[in-house]
Amino acid sequence: MTTFGDTPPPPPPNDDEPTAYQPGPVPASDPDRPVDADRPVDAEPPVKERKRGSFLRELPFLILIALVLALLIKTFLVQAFYIPSGSMENTLHIGDRVLVNKLVYRIRDVHRGEIIVFRGPSSWQDNPEFQTSEPGNPISRFFHDIGSALGVAAPSSKDFIKRVIGVAGDHVVCCDTQGHITVNGHPLTEPYLYPGAKPSGSNFDVTVPKGRLWVMGDHRNMSADSRSHISDGNDGTIPTGNVIGRAFIRVWPPSDWGTLGVPSTFHQKGLAAALGNPLALGFVGAVPLTLLRRRTSRSRRQRRLARRASVKS
């Protein structure tokens, strides 16, 4: 019998009822006991384990996104290009990588002295400067194409890299009495040529047609450029529509990192004299058109006044 205020004794334990989990401290005398030995089976894993598992599940998706972004950038903005031959030595060596700006020529025209990557016309593709064999295995071919697009594998033998010597309307001649190539009568000083190589081992006299370019390699003895295709039609020139972009920086090897600018010889005064100053030509063409328009307007005004006078009379 209990009195008021007494606490009843606890009920006897029942082995059939689950008891609440009450972790206890890990005995210091048992160093081999796992740290999480007292963690319930259904408890959440530690934060580090959850993060590691989440990252491993997302890794394939992240790789796919990176490849898609790289291909989009390569298609529309910038493409890495692997130098496959010695035709541009010593400016560029075999195995160098350059970045090619694919947007610039959608904004402006190609300029003399720039290094460009372009898709060779059919006659160029029939006699490429280097040979590349595509893997027969579809999977290997897929990864080779990805590597080529990212600039880590040799490109297609249909693509070439050269320096622009003449643009539409330029008169390009080899050579003057001092052995220089001339553009519109102005000799080019070419310090970028391969040491000991002549500006050209063959003579030519070409006026570049509209919408085309005359291109040459910096190692003239190793370059199958416009000179090698002068009898293929269009005097060896290439269409501007085949230009992929401008090579503007070398990114590999790191020791040779640097920009690929336009040599000063292409900035000499009067080099574009054959084409004239576009702004000046625009003014010259606009003057007679303006005079003709004024004369037409004056005659129309006089006719209207004459009709009004006849009506009043």
The DSSP code sequence of 171-202 is EEEE--TTS--EETTEEPP-TTSPTT--S-SS
Looking at residue 125, its pLDDT comes to 82
Looking at residue 32, its pLDDT comes to 58
Distance CA 296, CA 177 (A): 54
| Amino acid in position 69 | L
Looking at residue 292, its pLDDT comes to 60
Cis peptide before 90 (omega within 30 of 0): yes
Q: At what angle do helices 47-76 and 138-149 cross, to 10 degrees?
A: 70
Q: Is 226 assigned a catalytic role?
A: no
Distance CA 196, CA 313 (A): 90
Cβ neighbours for 78, distance < 8 A, ≥ 6 positions apart: 99, 100, 101, 102, 103, 245
**What number does CATH give the domain 79-267?**
2.10.109.10
Looking at residue 153, its pLDDT comes to 52
Looking at residue 279, its pLDDT comes to 44
Cis peptide before 174 (omega within 30 of 0): no
Looking at residue 227, its pLDDT comes to 95
Per the structure block, which two tokens stand in for 135?
Answer: 């893997």
Looking at residue 158, its pLDDT comes to 82
Q: Which of 74, 162, 223, 226 is catalytic?
A: 162
Looking at residue 283, its pLDDT comes to 45
Q: Where are the domains of the chain?
A: 47-76, 79-267
| Residues of the chain under the 50 pLDDT cut | 1-2, 151, 274-281, 283-285
97 neighbors 81 (Cβ within 8 angstroms): yes
Q: Cα 16 to the chain's mean position, in Å?
A: 74
Closest to 166 (Cα-Cα) out of 225, 107, 100, 228:
225
Looking at residue 174, its pLDDT comes to 95
Q: Which of 85, 87, 148, 226 is catalytic?
A: 87
Distance CA 226, CA 84 (A): 18
- Model pTM above 0.75: no
Q: Is 87 assigned a catalytic role?
A: yes
Looking at residue 276, its pLDDT comes to 42
Q: Cα 251 to the chain's mean position, in Å?
A: 12
Looking at residue 37, its pLDDT comes to 53
Looking at residue 127, its pLDDT comes to 73
Closest to 113 (Cα-Cα) out of 179, 155, 172:
172
